[in-house]
């Protein structure tokens, strides 16, 4: 077990990511944020909470997307359903997808398919906390990356959140 980010590093990383987002999306004009269920929600909630300290809360459009039935591995057993909560159109909007770990790229591909049900975005960007960069199965990369790591297929990245596990930390198992 190896710690990739401790609590302080995780906090600093989130701060850096929100500043990068705000550099490219001044005042979040025409921009929406979509967190991916289930594990990306903890990360997207943190991003949105920090954005609210920089931008008026009413300028932030935040939704949560369940991609369960868009996955190409849905037939491999039953999946836990989560709730999609997007109360706005993404038509011609800049969408920032947020997830905790980018691994094979299949979750993001499914999210791109699911997004089409809510309109045709002008642009889609990806923000991830951890990029397992040598594990990609699809040509997908993040626009905002907390930390890139090299890992082998037998290793697992585990993101711990205070809201769920009582501690903020990222470990390589």
Q: What are the domain boundaries of the chain?
A: 8-22+30-150
Q: What is the pLDDT of residues 113-165, one digit of tens each?
A: 999 999 999 999 999 999 998 889 999 999 999 999 998 888 999 999 999 89
CA separation for the pair 173, 170 (Å, rounded):
10
Query: Per-residue DSSP letters for 29-64?
Result: TTEEEEEETTTHHHHHHHHHHHHTTTS-GGG-EEEE
pTM beyond 0.85: the answer is yes
Q: Which residue has the tokens 């398919």?
A: 113
- Residue 81 reports pLDDT greater than 70: no
Instruction: Tell me what the mean pLDDT of segment 91-107 comes to.
Output: 96
> What is the CATH number assigned to the segment(s) 8-22+30-150?
3.40.50.2020
Query: What's the mean pLDDT when you consider all of the chain?
Result: 92
CB atoms within 10 A of CB 99: 26
CB atoms within 10 A of CB 154: 6
CB atoms within 10 A of CB 22: 15
């Amino acid at each position: 077990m190896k710690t990739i980010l401790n609590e302080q590093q995780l906090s600093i990383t989130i701060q850096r990511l929100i500043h990068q987002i705000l550099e490219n999306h001044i005042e979040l004009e025409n921009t929406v944020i979509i967190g991916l269920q289930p594990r990306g929600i903890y990360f997207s909630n943190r991003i949105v909470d920090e954005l609210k300290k920089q931008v008026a809360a009413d300028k932030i459009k935040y939704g949560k997307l369940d991609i369960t039935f868009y996955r190409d591995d849905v037939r491999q057993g039953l999946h836990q359903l989560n709730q999609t909560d997007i109360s706005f159109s993404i038509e011609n909007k800049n969408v920032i997808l947020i997830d905790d770990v980018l691994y094979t790229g299949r979750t993001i591909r499914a999210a791109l398919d699911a997004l089409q049900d809510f309109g045709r975005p002008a642009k889609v960007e990806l923000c991830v906390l951890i990029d397992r960069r040598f594990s990609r199965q699809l040509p997908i990369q993040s626009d905002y990356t907390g930390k890139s790591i090299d890992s082998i297929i037998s290793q697992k990245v585990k993101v711990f959140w205070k809201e769920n596990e009582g501690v903020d930390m990222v470990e390589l198992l």
